[in-house]
Amino acid sequence: MKLGIDPAAIHALAAWFRDHGRPYHFRRHPTPYSVWILEVMSQQTQIARAEERHRRWLERFPDIRTLAAAGEEEVLREWEGLGYYSRARNIHRAACQVMDAGGEMPTTRDGLLSLPGIGAYTAASIASIVHGEPVAAVDANVRRVLRRVFAAPDLADGRIETLLAGAFEHEPAGVINEALMELGEQLCRKTRPRCLECPLAEGCLACRSGRTELERQKPGSGRTRLSIAVACLRCRGRYLVEEAPQGELWAGLWRFPCRIIGQEEDPEAVVRQLGAERGLRLGSLQPLGGKYTGGHTRYSIHLLPYCGSARRALRAGGAGDWIDPREDGGRTFPTLFRRLLEALPVKDRKD
DNA sequence: GAGGCGTGGAC
DNA sequence: TGTCCAAGCCT
C-alpha cells in the first residue's frame, strides 16, 4: 500500500522508465497539439500503430489552424484505417472550436475536458505531459498495474487518482503517467507479467502473493458472424458507391451497395436485388476472387462481393456516386471495402 | 451504465 | 482462420 506514498517506489518507477521507455518519436517534441492527436489516436489502439500514423498526420495537418481549415472529409480520409471514426470527427470539431475561441488549446485538464473526444484519460494525459499538471491519466494499463499492486481487482478510477496524487509530489505527473502505461505494456501485461524485472515488485501485493491474474473477463463478448453480399457494379469503367446511412455499419463512410444476408440466402441473388432496387439492369455477375474477412466492433464479417456491369434502366435516383476505382475523390472507405476497391478490375472494357 | 464504435496484433 | 483486446469516449 505504499505506492501512493513510498517515494522510493516512485523513483524506481521513474528510473525504470528513463532506462526502458521506448524512444517513440512523439516524445521528442511534445506540443499540446501533437500530444492531443497522439492521445486520441492511441485510444483503443496499440501505441506502435498510433505512432506511425501520428507522424503522417503531422505532415498533413501540422497545426490546429490547418486542421480546422480542412474539411471533415479530408480529416476522415487521413484517419482511414484507424477505426473508431468518431475520433476523427471529434478532433476536427475540437479544432474548429479552438480556432473559434482564439486558437489556443485549453491548458488545464478541466479546460481540455470541454473539447469533444477528450475524456478523463486524454485530458489528464495532455495536461500532465505538456503542462505538468499533477493529475493521473488512468487508462487500462494504469488500472491493471494499480489493481495488482494493491491486490484490489475492483479499485475504482477515483481511488487510483487519489493514490497517484501522492506520487506526483516526488516525480512529475507526466513521467509517472507514461511510466505506468509503459510498465503495463512491457512488464505488467495481462498474461504472464514479468515481475522479475518490475521496479514495483517489492511492494506489489499481487506479485508477493503470486496472484497476478486479477482480471475478470466479461462474458458474452464474442463476435457475431455476419455475411454481407456486396454489389460491385460497373458502368463505363465506374463503380457505384454509397454513403452508409446512420444506424448501419460504418455509418458515414463510403461503401458499395451491400446487405447482410442469412445463411441460406444466395448472395448473387441479393446482389441482383440490390441492383434492381437502384433501377439498374445487370449483366452477368462474377464473384470477386479473394477473401474479404475482418472484424468490426462486435461482428466478424465476411464480404461476398459480386462484380458485374450495370445499365441504368430508369433515371438515376440513388444517393450514390459512380467513381473510378483509381480516383475515389477523397472518400473514406472502411478497410474491408478499401481492399475490395483495390482488387476491382480497372480495365476499360465495353462497360 | 451498458452498449456501440474499427482495426490489426498477439497467442 | 479463432479469441481477446489495445494509451477510451459518447449517449
Mean pLDDT in runs of 10 for chain A (351 residues)?
A: 75 97 94 98 96 97 98 98 98 98 98 98 98 97 94 92 96 97 95 94 93 65 90 96 96 97 95 96 94 94 97 71 95 97 75 53
Hey, which residues of A are catalytic here?
A: 39
CA–C1' gap, A277 and C6, in angstroms = 41
Q: Is residue A2 part of a domain?
A: no
Q: Is residue A185 part of a domain?
A: yes
Q: Which residue minimizes Cα–C1' distance to B11?
A: A191
| Residues A173 and A260 both lie in one domain | no
Q: Is residue A1 part of a domain?
A: no
pLDDT at A252: 97
pLDDT at A1: 45
Q: Is residue A190 part of a domain?
A: yes
| Residues A278 and A176 both lie in one domain | no
φ, ψ for residue A306, nearest 5 deg? -125, 140
| Residues A105 and A24 both lie in one domain | yes
Give the closest nucleotide to A299 (alpha carbon vs C1').
B6
Point out which residues pair with A280 in neighbouring strands. A312
| Residues A235 and A189 both lie in one domain | no
Spatial separation of the C-alpha atoms in residues A302 and A201, rounded to whole Å: 45
Count of domains for chain A: 2
Q: Which three cell numbers stand for residue A332?
A: 473514406
Range of the domain at A322: 224-343
| Residues A276 and A336 both lie in one domain | yes
Question: What are the start-end ranges of the E strands in chain A?
Answer: 224-235, 238-243, 254-255, 258-261, 280-287, 292-295, 299-312, 321-323
CATH number, domain containing residue A204: 1.10.340.30
pLDDT at A199: 97
pLDDT at A94: 98
Q: Is residue A44 part of a domain?
A: yes
CA–C1' gap, A99 and B1, in angstroms = 34
CA–C1' gap, A137 and B9, in angstroms = 24
Q: Is residue A218 part of a domain?
A: no
| Residues A15 and A40 both lie in one domain | yes
Give the closest nucleotide to A87 (alpha carbon vs C1').
C9
Question: What are the start-end ranges of the E strands in A176-266?
Answer: 224-235, 238-243, 254-255, 258-261
CATH number, domain containing residue A251: 3.90.79.10
Q: Is residue A351 part of a domain?
A: no
